[in-house]
């Protein structure tokens, strides 16, 4: 069969169902949302640099942090992971496309319109939603937050929720059904395995989000009282329903990036990922356990069984630790090449470790009684999602960019950007552990000019300026590299998984020919026919 020639016109991007195009659309869109959410963060840090600042009043500030959190969680970190999965899964398993290409593209457009809807709330009379990304009832009920912005938030997030479920249906089906001959499940690259685990989480958790949003909408507009105590409803119920989604969501936001780190460290160490089986089992252990910890976000309510959730939360540290030891084991005995991607992976390891151990801390209710809803918690989740996922996101960009576009991002600019980002990130978020311990609530538009808070906040805001500089360097890198277009070739990093066995960028059907697949590193077997399996 002769395929029609590949189209490159602008209109083709609106009709394309090619998983690579959909992946690029997802990743590009999430990076644009990252720019907006990052600028919102700069607004926050500028306001909080000095006590009693007047850049943002409480109304504006509350909308700013709501949009910042909503965007980072729903429109940046998770969708970039979906986009990466879209691009990579068929390539890594040796398939020509996703199992359901049109559903795939549809999920992108629904995600895009959902994200735009959330932000469109800012154009309404009462402004965007301002009840936090968690939108607790009764704060988000119609009696308290009467503006349309809250409704746009509900509807927009619901659309993103549906889109995410649709995307993950594709990932799981494709990984199960469209693997190339010889690509058994136990030969899948770690990234693909992590996406299978992520997809299971999405299936189990996102329906709860959609249901919660529906209930909230009915409460607001159709006379519902699910969360209204005056009619027998319960704000605690909202929290159960929300966090049953909300906690798995944070693992949806980290598992794909665990996969990225595994791929990057393995390639640049020149070794297979250490403890492959343990890595896969740990991914599913994390996913499964994460469904049972949700009320550790509710320790301070006094309304839940703290020991149950504390115990399961502690347990999650074990498979996470296994992954860490496996990553170190991959580096051990290797010959590590420090490309920009590897630097970001190293930054991930250093940052996420702190995020992880402080997570074990707040899993202890006595610690949580102080830390909950304080800047200590803000520091913890930024170290995991920012220092973790965000750094891995950039590792992924620097690692797979040559494959996607066929030319390199400049390595020197990349390393400068990394240094600025790593320094800025730690300057910004390390002081926050202390701010929280000292009594600074989160979601506050200002703080008093006493004690240690003014100094700590100033340091944090200076750190944010460094991160901004890192972002500017990245954008400059893209512009400069796009002009030079240094060709990358099929396998610029000497990787061993299947995506490196085709051209950069791959043809529309992905592979002109496939090598025989005899292990989780098919290209190693091609290179070393004398060693039939890696030890």
Binding positions for other proteins, 73-132, rule CB under 8 A: 93-94, 96-97, 99, 101-106, 108-110, 112-114, 117, 130-132
Q: Select from 201-209, 388-396, 400-408, 478-486 the region that touches other proteins (CB under 8 A).
A: 201-209
> What does the DSSP assignment read for 120-188?
HGGGSTT-B--STTTT-TTTTSTTT--SHHHHHHHHHHHHHHHHHHHHHHHHHHHHHH-PPTT--GGGS
The correct pick among 27, 78, 200, 209 for binding other proteins (CB under 8 A) is 200
Neighbours of 30 (CB within 10 A): 28
Q: How far is the CB of 37 from other proteins (least distance, A)?
A: 19
Q: What is the x/- site pattern for other proteins, positions 462-501, by CB under 8 A? A: ----------------------------------------
Buried b (16+ CB within 10 A) or exposed e, 74-105: bbbbbbbbbbbbbbbbbbbbbbbbbbbbeebb
Of the candidates 131, 138, 151, 158, the residue with the CA atom closest to the CA atom of residue 237: 138
The correct pick among 125, 230, 483, 530 for binding other proteins (CB under 8 A) is 230
Contact 319, 258 (CB under 8 A): no
| Dihedral sign for Cα atoms in the order 66, 71, 74, 77 | negative
Q: What is the x/- site pattern for other proteins, positions 410-449, by CB under 8 A? A: -------------------------x-xxxxxxxxxxxx-
Report the distance separating Cα 71 and Cα 73, nearest Å. 6
Query: Which residue in the block uniquely carries the two structure tokens 């520091």?
Result: 379
Closest to other proteins by CB, 203 or 407:
203
| 303 binds other proteins per the rule CB under 8 A | yes
The correct pick among 39, 142, 353, 423 for binding other proteins (CB under 8 A) is 353
Strand locations in 82-132 (E)? none
Closest to other proteins by CB, 362 or 468:
362
| Dihedral sign for Cα atoms in the order 510, 514, 517, 521 | negative
Q: How far is the CB of 42 from other proteins (least distance, A)?
A: 20
| 223 binds other proteins per the rule CB under 8 A | no
The correct pick among 32, 123, 146, 311 for binding other proteins (CB under 8 A) is 311
Q: How far is the CB of 482 from other proteins (least distance, A)?
A: 26
The correct pick among 247, 271, 296, 403 for binding other proteins (CB under 8 A) is 271
Q: What is the x/- site pattern for other proteins, positions 30-49, by CB under 8 A? A: --------------------
Report the distance separating Cα 382 and Cα 391, nearest Å. 11
The correct pick among 71, 118, 152, 286 for binding other proteins (CB under 8 A) is 152
Q: Select from 27-35, 73-81, 308-316, 477-485 the region that touches other proteins (CB under 8 A).
A: 308-316
| 28 binds other proteins per the rule CB under 8 A | no
Rounded (5°) CA angle 404-410-415: 115
Q: Select from 27-35, 255-263, 371-379, 460-468 the region that touches other proteins (CB under 8 A).
A: 371-379
221 class by beta-carbon count within 10 Å (0-12 exposed, 13-18 middle, 19+ buried): exposed
The correct pick among 2, 8, 305, 412 for binding other proteins (CB under 8 A) is 305
Q: What is the x/- site pattern for other proteins, positions 375-414, by CB under 8 A? A: ----------------------------------------
219: its two tokens? 């409460």
167 class by beta-carbon count within 10 Å (0-12 exposed, 13-18 middle, 19+ buried): buried
Closest to other proteins by CB, 322 or 471:
322
Q: How far is the CB of 202 from other proteins (least distance, A)?
A: 12
Closest to other proteins by CB, 199 or 477:
199
Report the distance separating Cα 120 and Cα 136, nearest Å. 21
The correct pick among 144, 146, 475, 486 for binding other proteins (CB under 8 A) is 144
Q: Which of residues 176-195 bind other proteins (CB under 8 A)?
A: 176-186
The correct pick among 35, 53, 55, 317 for binding other proteins (CB under 8 A) is 317
Q: In sequence order, what are the residues at sequence separation of 6 or more whose Cβ sits closer than 8 angstroms to the Cβ of residue 289? A: 312, 315, 316, 319
For residue 120, give Cα distances in angstroms to 125, 150, 151, 153, 226.
11, 11, 11, 9, 27
Q: How far is the CB of 476 from other proteins (least distance, A)?
A: 27
Query: Which residue in the block uniquely carries the two structure tokens 């889109």?
Result: 163
Q: How far is the CB of 206 from other proteins (least distance, A)?
A: 12
Total residues in contact with other proteins, by rule CB under 8 A:
164
> Across-strand partners of 128?
149
For residue 274, give Cα distances in angstroms to 101, 280, 331.
34, 11, 9
The correct pick among 452, 458, 462, 469 for binding other proteins (CB under 8 A) is 452
Q: In sequence order, what are the residues at sequence separation of 6 or more whose Cβ sits closer than 8 angstroms to the Cβ of residue 513? A: none
């Amino acid at each position: 069969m002769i395929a029609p020639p590949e189209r490159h016109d602008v209109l083709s991007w609106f009709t394309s169902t090619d998983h690579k195009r959909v992946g690029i659309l997802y990743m590009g869109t999430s990076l644009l949302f990252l720019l907006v959410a990052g600028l919102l963060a700069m607004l926050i840090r500028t306001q909080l640099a000095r006590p009693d600042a007047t850049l943002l009043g409480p109304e504006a500030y509350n909308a700013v942090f709501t949009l910042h959190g909503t965007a980072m969680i729903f429109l940046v970190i998770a969708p970039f992971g979906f986009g990466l999965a879209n691009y990579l899964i068929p390539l890594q398993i040796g398939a020509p496309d996703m199992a359901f290409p049109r559903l795939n593209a549809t999920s992108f457009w629904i995600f895009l319109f959902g994200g735009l809807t959330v932000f469109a709330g800012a154009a309404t009379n009462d402004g965007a939603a301002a009840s936090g990304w968690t939108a607790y009832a009764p704060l988000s009920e119609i009696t308290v937050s009467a503006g349309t912005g809250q409704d746009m938030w509900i509807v927009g997030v619901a659309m993103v929720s549906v889109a995410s479920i649709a995307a993950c249906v594709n990932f799981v089906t494709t990984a199960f059904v469209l693997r190339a001959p010889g690509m058994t499940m136990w030969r899948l690259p770690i990234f693909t395995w992590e996406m299978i685990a992520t997809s299971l989480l999405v299936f189990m958790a996102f329906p709860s989000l959609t249901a919660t949003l529906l209930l909230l909408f009915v409460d607001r507009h159709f006379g519902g009282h699910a969360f209204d105590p005056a009619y027998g409803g319960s704000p605690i119920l909202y929290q159960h329903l929300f966090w049953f989604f909300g906690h798995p969501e944070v693992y949806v936001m980290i598992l794909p990036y665990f996969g990225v780190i595994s791929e990057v460290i393995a390639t640049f160490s020149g070794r297979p990922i250490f403890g492959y089986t343990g890595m896969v089992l740990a991914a599913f252990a994390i996913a499964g356990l994460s469904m049972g910890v949700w009320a550790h976000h509710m320790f301070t309510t006094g309304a839940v069984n703290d020991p149950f959730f504390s115990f399961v939360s502690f347990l999650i540290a074990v498979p996470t630790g296994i992954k860490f030891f496996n990553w170190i084991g991959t580096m051990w005995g290797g010959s590590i090449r420090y490309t920009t991607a590897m630097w970001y992976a190293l930054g991930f390891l250093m940052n996420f470790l702190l995020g992880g151990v402080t997570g074990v801390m707040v899993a202890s209710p006595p610690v949580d009684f102080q830390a909950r809803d304080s800047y200590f918690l803000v520091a913890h989740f930024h170290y995991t999602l920012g220092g973790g996922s965000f750094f891995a996101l950039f590792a992924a960009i620097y690692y797979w960019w040559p494959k996607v576009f066929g030319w390199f991002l400049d390595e020197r600019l990349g390393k400068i950007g990394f240094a600025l980002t790593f320094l800025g990130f730690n300057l910004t978020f390390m002081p926050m552990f202390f701010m929280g311990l000292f009594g600074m609530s989160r979601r506050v538009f200002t703080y008093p000019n006493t004690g240690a808070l003014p100094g700590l906040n100033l340091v944090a805001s200076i750190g944010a300026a460094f991160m901004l500089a890192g972002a500017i360097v990245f954008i400059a890198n893209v512009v400069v590299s796009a002009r030079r277009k240094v060709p990358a070739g099929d396998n610029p990093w000497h990787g061993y998984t299947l995506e490196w066995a085709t051209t950069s960028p791959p043809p529309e059907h992905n592979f002109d020919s496939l090598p025989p697949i005899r292990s989780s590193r098919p290209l190693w077997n091609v290179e070393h026919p004398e060693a039939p399996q890696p030890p």
